[in-house]
Amino acid sequence: MTAIAVTLAGSDSGGGAGIQADLKTFSALGVYGASVLTALTAQNTRGVTAIHDVPTDFVAAQIDAVFSDLAVDAVKIGMLSQPAVIETVAAGLGRHTPRHVVLDPVMVAASGDPLIADEAVSVIKSALFSSVSLITPNLHEAARLLERPVADTPEAMQDQAERLRDLGAPAVLLKGGHGAGDQARDVLVSDAGVTWFGAPRHDTQNTHGTGCTLSSAIAAGLARGATLDDAVAAAKDYVTGAIRAADSLKIGHGHGPVHHFHALWHKG
């Protein structure tokens, strides 16, 4: 059987993040990708200039079209900028009950531009946390979800991950890529316990789409039958390679994308 994953997220017209990054990741990891667009962004490597939210009835229609025909193995959820869209996605998950759902609570672009309305933050927690398998916030997203200072130690990271679980998320991968130190460390807190994942930092400004790529890589692993710990470990390795190879791409004049096909493209 062909492994299938679907991404419910916003579109990045520059191609480095959002739906485009998710579909590239699925393809690079041997998974068939389908998509449900929740928003359109006018975006490039320098920033976001406009956001157009997809009407909720059309979001619902996309969800039902995909799930009524495809045997979806895993779902990745990205940018949901408005409360009504969040509630529509939650209702769609309720109708179709996918086994694996990875929620990346996207709030700010790599350029610093906001991608989500303030009133949507509480709706994400109340409407989605208990309906997903895993959430993957970065340090700033976790702080915003919890209304607490940004975690700056491993102990604070683990504490915030556990607090997010207390809000209803079955498992939390708190990403430390925006932290300090030679290692980019992430902590996974789930029913199985606490697991840390580390990788050496790579000095580059080309990190656009890193969060989208990691969450979709985890979804791809789950779609192919991996355990949660194994899916996270493999996704971390994949993203690390994509960041290391990012400078081999010459895309745009700002924060360029990671190299999703670093293991597949060969220089002639």
Q: List the catalytic residues.
A: 175, 207, 209-212
3-state secondary structure of 182: coil
Q: Which residues of 124-154 are buried (b: 16+ CB within 10 A; e: fewer)?
A: bbebbbebbbbbbbbbebbbbbbeeebbeee
At 217, which amino acid appears?
A: A
In eight-state DSSP terms, residue 166 is: H
Backbone angles phi, psi at 17, to 5 degrees: -135, -170
**Backbone dihedral region of 153: left (phi > 0), alpha (psi from -120 to 50 degrees) or beta?**
beta
Angle separating helix axes 139-146 and 118-127, nearest 10 degrees = 80
Sign of the CA dihedral running 54, 58, 64, 67 = negative
Nearest-10 crossing angle of helices 83-96, 118-127: 20
Residue with tokens 């309720």: 94
Please, which residues bridge with residue 134 across strands? 102
Q: What's the rounded Cα separation, in Å, for the pair 83 and 255?
A: 29
CA–CA separation, 42 and 208 (whole Å):
15
User: SS3 string of 54-99?
Assistant: CCHHHHHHHHHHHHCCCCCCEEEECCCCCHHHHHHHHHHHHHHCCC
